[in-house]
Amino acid sequence: MKLRLYGGFGEKGRTSLGIESASTRLIIDAGINTNAPRDAEWERAYYPAISPADLATADALIITHAHEDHLGGLGWCLRHGFRGRLLMTAETRADMPGCLRDYAEPGDVARALAAPISLITPGEAFAVGDLTISTGRNGHVVGGLWCLVEGEGQRALYCGDVVPKSSVFAYDVPPPADVVLLDASYGDDDVPSAARAAAVVDWVAAHPRCLLPVPLAGRSLEMLALLEQPLALATGLRDSLEAQIADPRWLWPGLQAGLVARLEQAIDWTDGEDWPDRPLMTHDAMGMGGPAAEQLPRAVRDGLPILLTGHVPTASPAYALREAGVADWLRLPTHPTVSENAGIAAVSGARRTFGHSCDRAGLAAMAGRLPTLDVHARTGDVIIL
């Protein structure tokens, strides 16, 4: 088999991987790079580095979950020639419109929403040509998957985004693999998730009226579960949270009833109202779309404390606020620590590992903990297994 690194290797964002045998070409994910500056070279940096020829000859495209760095380039792929099977879970399909509206060109949104989709059920194996794909829940978001691809006597595990120790989302341990492509989003960060979550709880307790930007899906539910005080929800979040809670198969056992109760305590809030007397959760997390695009500037003008809890791209409004000292930042983990990645690699028995969603410096820093990690692989490379 061959791996084609279409995006996210040696960089953060536009995650995309090609896996091919002698007769089958598979693409997994088609993300965008929200770090890309809006200059003359913007499109080359924003979308995956996939040629029209590769798109036209691909047999299938799997989307692992509905976050922009894995899904945002789907319509672009369709515009540039992809005509193969499109596969994702029902939950990812349901979340797709909200993600694409914030990050994709209008014409590309229309193309993606009109495309026929084959649904994946986690835990069931399926075939694309002579490749067999197995999937499991990734612990990162409702509907999110990792993918194990088998062909020509080899097994490649693409983690996508995974959280082995999420307090909310269920995670299936992947089977052994010869090659693993790890979610290296946090580089060599090894601070336990419990310690980081406690810091977020303490900050919110010290700022009972505040603005909490989060992604529409994923960290929004983690935040609801974490904070004990009743919240206010910006437009769109209640519907998203209800959908995330609705199917207990994606949650750890016993959590659903408590999450329903937390959501019932929350109040709805709309633009134009006075700031609520409690923490206000809004989306998106970066101020690049959703209600947060208008609410972040207003919060700064009004002196309302702001806490950012995830990735802050350099081209985002959230980055400018953090640099100006008018927004605080504490990580609420939604990706693995370096110890967790080392555990994934060890359990897999892989002889080679690669890291995606991480810049070059971050990969180099991980090398001491992951002796099989290839720190030199970059977007555009072709790896022969």
Question: Is 308 in contact with 315 (CB distance < 8 Å)?
Answer: no
Nearest to 174 by CA among 134, 119, 213, 201: 134
Question: Is 128 in contact with 85 (CB distance < 8 Å)?
Answer: yes
- What SS3 class is residue 132? strand
- Residue 187: left (phi > 0), alpha (psi -120 to 50), or beta? left
* Mean pLDDT value across residues 324-350: 97
Please list the residues that pair with 85 across neighbouring strands. 60
Alpha helices in the chain, H assignment, sequence order: 42-46, 52-57, 68-71, 74-79, 90-103, 106-114, 193-206, 219-226, 237-246, 256-265, 292-302, 317-323, 338-348, 360-366
* Mean pLDDT value across residues 24-37: 94
CA dist., res. 11 & res. 31, Å (int):
12
Mean of per-residue pLDDT scores for the chain: 96
CA dist., res. 75 & res. 378, Å (int):
24
Question: Is 233 in contact with 271 (CB distance < 8 Å)?
Answer: no
252-308: pLDDT as tens digits? 999 999 999 999 999 999 998 999 999 999 999 999 999 999 999 999 999 999 999
Edge to edge, the sheet with strand 232-233 lists 211-213, 280-282, 232-233, 267-268
Residue 158 has what pLDDT?
98
Residue 220 has what pLDDT?
97
195-241: pLDDT as tens digits? 999 999 999 999 999 999 999 999 999 999 999 999 999 999 999 99
Nearest to 137 by CA among 80, 69, 65: 65
What separation in angstroms does the CA of 262 have from each of 231, 233, 238, 247, 270?
Answer: 9, 12, 11, 16, 19
For the packed helices 219-226 and 256-265, what is the interaxial angle rounded to 10 degrees?
Answer: 80
Judged on CB neighbours under 10 Å (0-12, 13-18, 19+), 2 is middle
Cis amide linkage into residue 381, ω under 30° from 0: no
Q: Give this prediction's pTM.
A: 0.94
Give the angle 15-20-26 at the CA atoms, nearest 5°: 55
125-171: pLDDT as tens digits? 999 999 999 999 999 999 999 999 999 999 999 999 999 999 999 99
Q: Which domains does the chain have, with CATH numbers?
A: 2-188+334-384 (3.60.15.10), 193-329 (3.40.50.10890)
Given pLDDT bands bounded at 50, 70 and 90, which one contains residue 315? Answer: confident
Residue 40 has pLDDT above 80, yes or no: no
